[in-house]
Amino acid sequence: MLETIWFIIWGVAWAVYFMLDGFDLGLGSLLPFLGRSEPDRRIIVNAMGPFWDGNEVWLITAGGVTFAAFPRAYAVMFSGLYTPLMLLLFALILRGVAFEFRAKVDDARWRRVWDACLVFGSLVPALLLGVAFANIFEGLPLDAEGTFHGNLLTLLNPYGLAGGVLFVAAFMLHGANWLATRTEGELKARAERTAKRLWPAVVVLAVAFLAFTWFATPLWRNVLAKPYLLVLPLLAVAGLLATRVFAARGAPWRAWFGSAALILGAVLFGVAGLFPDMLPSSLDPAASVTCFNSCSSPLTLKIMLGVVLCFLPVVIGYQLWVYRKFRDVLTEESLRDGMFY
């Protein structure tokens, strides 16, 4: 029972991370297309600035849950997927540095360098996370000892790349919706147009990926075996449709919640379809790393569950406060006091 509870916590932590950090990863990837002037680019950076580091708390949470609750899964993941995970880490570090450094020198060339770092540090993590999770859904070449028989190119297979492209497109849609909630005037209109143009691409990619998933993975069969889990892909579909409907009505906040529901439902569908596997083996199903054969002791799981129940409300409360505190619309005039990125 404890193993199942922690598997759910693990999956929810990843889903919430993608839902929250997804919009600033997507918005950072769109910076060259939406930021046509320095004031526009500064507004875009400040639309992400107060939130990105708090959003990544959920990445730390997901990694911490894996390390503490499922140490064998953590060991296998970080040995087998060492190269892409290090690339992900370095890209995220570069992105964080870019936020802090781009305004330190009043020079256009200096800002262009850090803007490029911000784009790289947003686009590459979105792509790598999609590739990584698609490969996990499909199954990794793991033997009974947890040894990964492959390399980075092994992960860049058609299904893995399809997952990466879908993540990038969905995050870009999410980011464009976010910018539409935080701005006004021409930049807001540009963000809304971008979201409307991205929506058909996300639909096509999502349908193609789900069809690919039917043939390449056991996710659909596992979910259909428990019909109540169909609420998860239905949540994703409802979110995708809501995004388009509310964007057409000029309701950017509702459109953003729609794209949030799309990401949340899609990731939870994938995680639910994996259960009880965490790292399924494509070489031998018996060699798969599951939540039952990789978990910590029952006492450890009990203690950590108590810690989570105590501190999770604090984290959620803090993030709600931050989102409420910085909810105002950003304009060029509002950034003139120097207390911004």
251 vs 78 pLDDT, higher one? 251
**pLDDT score, position 338:** 60
pLDDT tens sequence across 8-51: 999 999 999 999 999 999 999 999 999 989 989 999 999 998 88
Query: HSE on the CB side for 98, CA within 13 Å?
Result: 26
pLDDT tens sequence across 306-326: 988 898 888 899 899 988 888
Instruction: Please state, in angstroms and rounded to a whole number, the distance separating the CA atoms of residues 21 and 61.
Output: 13
Q: Which residues contact 243 (CB under 8 A, 6 or more apart)?
A: 173, 177, 195, 199, 255, 258, 259, 262
**pLDDT score, position 332:** 79
Distant-in-sequence contacts of 213-218, Cβ < 8 A, 24+ apart? 213/137, 213/159, 216/137, 216/138, 216/159, 217/137, 217/138, 217/139, 217/159, 217/273, 218/273, 218/280
Residue 259 CA from chain centroid, whole number: 12
Q: Is residue 279 pLDDT above 70, yes or no?
A: yes
- Strand, coil or helix: 148: strand
Q: Is residue 301 pLDDT above 80, yes or no?
A: yes
**pLDDT score, position 335:** 78
- Mean pLDDT score, 226-252: 94
Is the Cβ–Cβ distance between 308 and 12 less than 8 Å?
Answer: no
Q: Which residues contact 265 (CB under 8 A, 6 or more apart)?
A: 232, 233, 234, 235, 236, 237, 238, 239
- Predicted confidence band of residue 87 (pLDDT cuts 50, 70, 90): very high
